[in-house]
Amino acid sequence: MARIIVITSGKGGVGKTTTTANLGMALAKRRRKVVVVDADFGLRNLDLLLGLENRVVYTAVEVLAGQCRLEQALVKDKRFNNLALLPAAQNRTKEAVTPDQMKQLVNALARVYEYILIDCPAGIEMGFQNAIAAAKEAVIVTTPEISAVRDADRVIGLLEANNVKQIQLLINRIKPAMVQANDMMSVADVQEILAVKLLGVIPDDEKVIVSTNKGEPLVLSETPSQAGTAFDNVVRRLEGEPVPFMDLTVRDEGLLSRLRRILSNRA
């Protein structure tokens, strides 16, 4: 049975689209049949992050209007042909589709794909309702900020009320140094409020921005990065592998390196 997962947050700009692109790509690397669905009508980004913008011809709206077949709207990834994108219309608003239509689309996709990742728009209005309509699972993305956590809490409540009961948490943009200085909420602080299962912790990493601009999700990069590895780990956990959480504490130096630092400071 296909796993239908919505990536959502409440608050905007916390990394939903980045997460969707990386998880989609990492699953594709593992030879899963994946389709990522951009549910952010009017503000679509997912095609950009995947580097597929110039290949978008039709969108979900044309499919629903009967102007093309679902298959025609799907953009196949050039790197992995087992990854596809269902683009959102850029020229329409969130009201252009209904939750029922969204369900139809996703259920059709579920017959072919193993994973359906839905990139949810920010907010809790129509666009959110559409994005969660067909979902069986949710990944809540939050940053360790009080406002993002508050919105995440609200969204979890709404998901629960809409019978999306399998909810996991992804904490994005952690800055270990700030956490240690007590200037940022820690993973434990966030978990304490939200009380849902932790799926992963992604450090704040400049390479994310570089990869966004290149249209190439970090998990594809040859040179390993902390954030890329963290996304890979998330996917392994999604697939049921027990993967220990990365140690993100600021270098808790061993005796040797501490000595070396002290000595070099002397020099």
Which residues of this protein are in contact with another protein, per CB under 8 A? 126, 129, 150-151, 153-154, 156-158, 160-163, 193, 195
Q: Which of 3, 5, 10, 15 binds ligand ATP (CB under 6 A)?
A: 15
- Closest to 122 in 3D by CA, of 92, 160, 148, 161: 148
Q: Other CB atoms closer than 10 Å to residue 118's CB: what's the count?
A: 30
Closest CB to Mg ion: residue number:
17
Minimum CB distance to ligand ATP smaller for 212 or for 233: 212
Q: What minimum distance in Å lies between the beta carbon of 80 and another protein?
A: 37
Alpha-carbon dihedral sign for residues 102, 35, 61, 16: positive
17 binds Mg ion (CB under 5 A): yes
Residue 256 tokens read as 């040797």
13 binds ligand ATP (CB under 6 A): yes
Matching residue, tokens 């809490």 = 153
Per partner kind, with CB cut-offs from 5 to 8 A, the member of ligand ATP, another protein, Mg ion, none near residue 162 is another protein
Q: Which of 28, 201, 202, 220 binds ligand ATP (CB under 6 A)?
A: 202
Per partner kind, with CB cut-offs from 5 to 8 A, the member of another protein, ligand ATP, Mg ion, none near residue 156 is another protein
Residue 90: is it exposed, middle or buried by C-beta count within 10 angstroms (0-12/13-18/19+)? middle
Q: What minimum distance in Å lies between the beta carbon of 50 and Mg ion?
A: 12
Q: Other CB atoms closer than 10 Å to residue 236's CB: what's the count?
A: 15
Angle at 160 between CA 239 and CA 10, to 5 degrees: 85
Minimum CB distance to Mg ion smaller for 17 or for 233: 17
49 neighbors 212 (Cβ within 8 angstroms): yes
Minimum CB distance to ligand ATP smaller for 45 or for 233: 45
Residue 24 tokens read as 């989609």
The site for ligand ATP (CB under 6 A) is made up of 9, 12-18, 40, 45, 121-122, 172-173, 202, 204-205, 208-209, 212, 227
